[in-house]
Structure 1
Amino acid sequence: MEWNKMEGLLEKYFEGDTNVDEENALRHYFLSDDVPPHLEQYKAIFGYFAKAKKENLTSNAVDSQLFLSKKRLALWLPVAASVVVMLGVGGYFYFGSTNEKQDLGTYQSPEVALKETQKALAMLSTHVNTGIESVMYIKEYEHSKGLIFKKQ
């Protein structure tokens, strides 16, 4: 009948309502050999935690990998910076070297300028309203997420 108690603890565990003692009891139970067949699938979960606890990383291996990555970064950082500078200078000369006068959308008649301004503002308003509708979807998502995942 101990497996009935463990099933109740499993439900609490997956809901996130167990305490440390209950989780230790689950771990000890699933590491034992007398687990019923319908609960065998959970042995892998608690077996993983036991295996991960036994693993020890050596600090030398981590430090040497970190050193190698910093060394590689130190080698590639100047190369990347020079490429960015070259692209910036090249882009300036390619796109900024035209001396043609550009039409800035100036109008001689105030009535035409007013109509064009109203048309531009109406287009802007349409796009802003579309963006606001997207924000409403995000708010609904946040509300649903709050219902599913309880904040502690």
Structure 2
Amino acid sequence: MELGKIKQLLDAYFEGNTSLADEKILKDYFNNETVAEELLQYQPIFMGLKAAKAEQSTRVFSLGEPETKTIKGWWYSVAAALVVAFGIGTLYFTQPQYTQEEKEALAAFEKSKEAMLLLSENLNKGAERLTFVEQFETSKDKVFE
């Protein structure tokens, strides 16, 4: 194979831009006896890849017995249901229970609060108009002096 194409494939290989077919061409080239002298430095890489591919482990792995998760799943479901029931019960029992008199007092308070807000808005409008009166007086005093 021509040397220029091999160099081009090597550059693409180190950039991560080669296809599997291109990598096979490079592996075949570097695992041959005839490698160009200027590319001999890359030969150990491809020979190491070939040796790594041929390695096999002789160790025996035991994964153990899988635990049944149905019991754990059942307990999780019961625990979740208890937490939800506890939350709903707490929310229900912590709500204040008002008597009829307290409810009427709260309604009266809300009405008086609305009346105060309306009064406040009207006073603010009146205060804005007073600034126009003050400006009128200062400009009148300048004219009549």
Shorter-chain TM-score: which interval? 0.3 to 0.5
Q: Scaled by the length of structure 1, what TM-score is found?
A: 0.39
Structure of higher CA gyration radius:
2
Q: TM-score, normalised by structure 2?
A: 0.40
